Structure 1
Amino acid sequence: MNDDVWLARRFEADRPRLEAVAFRMLGSSGEAEDAVQEAWFRLASTDAGQIANLSGWLTTVVGRVCLDQLRRRKARSEQPMPEHGAEPVPLPDAAPPADPESEALMADSVGLALLIVLEALEPAERLAFVLHDMFAVPFEEIARIIDRTPVAARKLASRARARVRGTEEPPARDVSRQRKVVEAFLGAARAGDFEALVAVLDPEVTARTADGPVGAVIRGAAQIAGSAITFAALASPAREFMLVDGRVAVVSTSPEGTTRMLVFSVEDGLVTALEGIADVEHLRGRELTLLED
């Protein structure tokens, strides 16, 4: 076996893990594949015999490619919702077993809600969190990728972790109460039950879209209940929950594959306001927390 064939086989063995890293960094399967392909181009033009740890070298290259991409996005203020048309790349175990079937059984899929929280992080925070918390990459290696000290890398990951988990999360009882009301709304919307919808809506409830035209607000329980079909995609069982500034939000996808988020304001057991969000840019500066099912 010549060196080129050996190198290609080694790269292909690392590809699933590299694509998993890149997907969590970029939130797009296509961009993740491009980042990994760029790593291959760089490897092909490098003397692989001088690389002591090939897997670590490839992780570093992919990490830097993704970091540059995230920084360019930020500079252009282009922060679309993560794509969800294709299945997310499985997350391998930190020390993957040799048996691919066992690895597949142990793999965990990244949730859409987590991708949205990750999109709201600064590029260096996101890289530090993804590499350390999801792939067990040491802070010493992460520091080299982001040109910081290991202590600074640790702080970035800690800051990102706090945002993912939420540091100002409302009491569990309050979240549970909110979620029950939201579940009642979703169930009524899915069933097209007008009366049940009105029953969980405050008479003066409002609904608006964060990135819609100014003044585009729907008011009144009857008007919003009458638009229940609009919420049918969000009422689908295939949904995820998170908190946005302490309010329960539902993340889902339309039949066309478009990501949507609906944030609920709940007071005294009734929905008082709904906010639709389709652009992650409108989540910047807000406190985002994942909710377990």
Structure 2
Amino acid sequence: MEAVTAETATDVFETHRPVLLGVAYRMLGRVADAEDVVQEAWLRWSGADRGDVREPRGYLVRITTRLAVERLRRIKARGETYVGPWLPEPYVTDFCDTEPDGAERAVLADTVSLAVLVLLETLSPLERAVFVLREAFGFPYADIAAVLDRGEAAVRRLAGRARRHVEEGRPRYEADPAERRDLTERFLAAATDGDLEGLMALLAPDVRLVGDSGGKSRAPLRVLRTADKVGRFLAGAARKGVPDFSVRFLELNGGPAVVLVLPGGKPDTVLQIDVADGRVQAVYVIRNPDKLRSLAVG
């Protein structure tokens, strides 16, 4: 490839922006932080001597990953406490960055799912970077070593530890998109109607509900487990009164999700489910207003 000139720098960066945002979001689990990292990568790119840059994608991924590792280390060093269960900020996914299909798209969806991102929070920044670059984007170990300025053997060890940790904790939820969408719609109808019998027909016996409010909205402060507890909570919430809202279906974090939008376009709640064997295995409820800003309408 020819060296990147000033005239083509913006176009080259915009071509790779979706990949960079995908890397940063998987590293941080926060849309705003990911966008900040990508913007900083742009500033580094625009001010760099690009005369010798022969592989802009690799160069830009290296900058973005290093910036994300630094930011993640600062976040962990602050040791902030979070009120109640934590879930990643919802992320609109369409995977247009690589135009994947089949197995590749499934891998991208899996590595951005809420369940996997929660597991990635428990990894060290370097383990997380290796996992993201290797498992989500298929980077060779030698390239990851160059990105992180580590030896290839060390990178392989980091990759092994990260993969084992994620595999040990990863729930086995598999359903085709049509089935997941159908169950999402039926679940929403039963939940908003307060239909306990309908909910119990949809929920797996060991279903769990994870509610993320950050202490800023009403949601369970502990993970609810079993169909009886989850069903009764949802039916009870409906009986207490459901505000006037419209419903948007979006693909978030690699799967169908429901966004409940208040009048004026303000998102109030994100609901997403994981499905296996025709039953709802997990329910995710995100109500922290700070995490819903990017989904605002209008």
The alignment's TM-score, normalised by the length of structure 1, stands at 0.58
**Deviation by residue 1:80-116 (Cα, 9 ceiling, x = unmatched):** 63222x51362644xxxxxxxxx27678363542333
Q: 1:59, CA displacement in angstroms?
A: 0.9
Q: 1:220-255 CA distances to partner (integer Å, 9 max, x unpaired)? A: x9788544557989xx99899xxxxxxxxxx97654
1:3-14 equivalent positions in 2, closer than 5 A: 3-14=5-16
Q: Aligned runs of 1:15-94 on 2, under 5 Å? A: 15-78=17-80, 81-84=87-90, 87-88=92-93, 90=95, 92-93=97-98
- Which runs of 5 or more structure 1 residues have no equivalent in the other structure? 94-102, 173-183, 202-206, 241-250, 264-273, 280-293
Match of residue 142 from structure 2: 140
- Give the AA of the match of 2:166: V
Q: Distance in 2 between matches of 1:21 and 1:45?
A: 22
Tell me, yes or no, if the aligned pair for 2:271 and 2:284 is still in contact at 8 Å.
Answer: no
2:51 match: secondary structure: helix
CA distance in 2, matches of 1:156, 1:200: 40
Give 1:129 deviation, angstroms: 0.8
Structure 2 distance, partners of 1:12, 1:53, is 15
Trace 1:1-293 onto structure 2 (pairs within 5 A).
3-78=5-80, 81-84=87-90, 87-88=92-93, 90=95, 92-93=97-98, 103=99, 108=105, 110=109, 111-113=112-114, 114-166=116-168, 189-194=191-196, 225-229=235-239, 255=261, 256=267, 258=269
Structure 2: give runs of 5+ residues left out of the alignment: 175-185, 204-208, 262-266, 275-282, 289-298
1:244 counterpart residue number: none
How far residue 119 of structure 1 moved from its aligned partner, in angstroms, is 3.0
Q: Secondary structure at the match of 2:48?
A: coil
In structure 1, give the amino acid aligned to 2:35.
E
User: What residue number does 2:179 align with?
Assistant: none
Moved more, 57-66 or 138-147: 138-147
Q: Secondary structure at the match of 1:137?
A: coil
CA distance in structure 2 between the partners assigned to 1:30 and 1:11 by the alignment? 19
Partner AA of 1:8 in structure 2: T
- Partner Cα distance (1:24, 1:275) in 2: 18
Matched letter for residue 119 of structure 2: V
Shift of 1:261: 8.6
Higher CA-based Rg = 1
- Inter-partner Cα distance in structure 2 for 1:165 and 1:229: 39
Measure the CA separation in 2 of the matches of 1:200 and 1:8.
49
Q: Deviations along 1:140-166, whole A, 9 cap, x unmatched?
A: 222233343222222222322233333
TM-score, length-scaled by structure 2: 0.57
Structure 1, 147-156 or 111-120: larger mean CA deviation: 111-120
Percentage identity across paired residues of the two chains: 34
Whether the aligned pair in 2 keeps the contact of 1:125 and 1:159 (CA below 8 Å) is yes
CA distance in 1, matches of 2:129, 2:25: 11
Tell me the alpha carbon deviations over residues 105-144 of structure 1, each in whole angstroms, 9 at most, x when there is no partner.
6783635423333333322121111111111112222223
Q: In 2 relative to 1, CA 257–66 (structure 1 residues): closer, same or farther, beyond 3 Å?
A: farther
Which one-letter code corresponds to 2:121 in the other structure?
A: E
Q: Say how many residue pairs are matched.
A: 245
Tell me, in whole angstroms, the C-alpha distance in 2 between the residues paired with 1:34 and 1:237: 27
